[in-house]
């Protein structure tokens, strides 16, 4: 098997050699790009998790309400329609305090803004970075394999 586990978001193809976590976890995945949602959802399912998929912030809020506080991790694109990812994370945490968040973004400048402490992976990223980070966040609420960042509120950017 090749060492390169880069995700091809357009084709939806990837190879995964990682072991599963012992207990399935519910992961909210919010990204407006269909290909990104599809590939990451497939990786999460392969790893034994239950992905809850949202294209827009309002869908994410509906899903977390339906889950009744039983979401273990939120993966949020920084640049979403109608609301930025940092704002969505703050709302989600009001509904479910302590919810770990992993931001994903194709915009490297997002990592230079400051206000909300979380973790981020910059697109494109490989599954050999994504899945270990997901596992660490689910197990400990922290991730050593992805950088901690601060995301600014829109009104403070």
Q: Where are the domains positioned within the chain?
A: 26-156
Distance CA 10, CA 1 (A): 21
- Closest C-alpha among 12, 96, 28, 93 to residue 63: 28
Q: Which residue has tokens 């519910």?
A: 26
The pLDDT-based confidence of 147 (bands split at 50, 70, 90) is: low
For CA atoms 26, 64, 78, 57, give the dihedral sign. Answer: positive
- Per-residue pLDDT tens over the stretch 89-142: 999 999 999 999 999 988 766 655 534 567 888 888 899 899 999 999 999 888
Domain 26-156, what fold?
Answer: Rossmann fold (3.40.50)
Token pair for residue 19? 């072991």
- pTM of the predicted protein model: 0.79
- Per-residue pLDDT tens over the stretch 64-90: 999 998 999 999 999 998 998 999 999
pLDDT for res 75: 97
Residue 14 has pLDDT above 80, yes or no: no
- Per-residue pLDDT tens over the stretch 42-68: 999 999 999 999 999 999 999 999 999
Say if CB 21 and CB 36 are below 8 A apart: no
């Amino acid at each position: 098997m090749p060492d390169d586990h880069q995700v091809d978001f357009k084709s939806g193809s990837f190879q995964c050699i990682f072991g599963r976590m012992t207990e399935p976890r519910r992961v909210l995945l919010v990204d407006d790009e269909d290909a990104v949602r599809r590939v990451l959802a497939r990786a999460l399912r392969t790893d034994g998790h239950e992905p809850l998929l949202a294209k827009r912030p309002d869908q994410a809020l509906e899903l977390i309400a339906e889950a009744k506080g039983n979401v273990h991790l939120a993966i949020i694109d920084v640049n979403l329609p109608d609301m930025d990812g940092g704002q969505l994370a703050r709302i989600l945490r009001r509904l479910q305090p302590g919810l770990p968040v992993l931001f994903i973004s194709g915009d490297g400048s997002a990592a230079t803004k400051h206000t909300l402490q979380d973790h981020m992976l910059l697109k494109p990223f490989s599954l050999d970075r994504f899945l270990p980070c997901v596992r660490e966040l689910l197990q400990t609420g922290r991730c050593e394999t992805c950088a901690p960042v601060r995301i600014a509120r829109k009104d403070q950017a």
